[in-house]
Amino acid sequence: MKLSLKIAGAALLGLSAMAMTTNSASAAIACNAEGYCWHVRHHTYVYRPEYGVVVHPDNWRWSRTEHYRWREHRGRGYWRNGAWVRF
């Protein structure tokens, strides 16, 4: 009986750890040539080259000589001429 409880407890602990890792979002930082940056998901956003968007890893930071601004927005799209363009 004790062995069954230990196995069940270990399984529950393992499932909990796996659930916590799968719930974490896979994020990235997208920036355009106008200097706006926003957060996106890695696996759901594909930007065409004509959009002029560069996608960086989530830990990316611009240098002191670069001039970017955060401009968050919900949904799929990108910033162009100061307006959010949905796709």
In a domain, 12, yes or no: no
In a domain, 18, yes or no: no
In a domain, 3, yes or no: no
pLDDT value of residue 73: 87
Alpha helices in the chain (DSSP H): 2-23
Threshold 0.75, pTM exceeds: no
pLDDT value of residue 46: 79
Q: Round to whole Å and give the CA distance between 78 and 54.
A: 11
pLDDT value of residue 15: 47
User: What single-letter amino acid sits at 6?
Assistant: K
Q: Total structural domains in the chain?
A: 1
Q: What is the pLDDT of residues 17-40, one digit of tens each?
A: 444 444 455 689 999 999 999 998
In a domain, 77, yes or no: yes
Instruction: Report yes or no: 82 and 65 within 8 Å, Cβ to Cβ.
Output: no
* Strand 69-70 to 83-86 pairing: unpaired
Other beta carbons within 10 angstroms of residue 38's beta carbon come to 20
Which of 70, 77, 31 lies closest to 54 in space, CA to CA?
Answer: 31
pLDDT value of residue 30: 93
Range of the domain at 31: 27-86
In a domain, 31, yes or no: yes
Residues of the chain with pLDDT under 70: 1-26, 42-44
pLDDT value of residue 33: 92
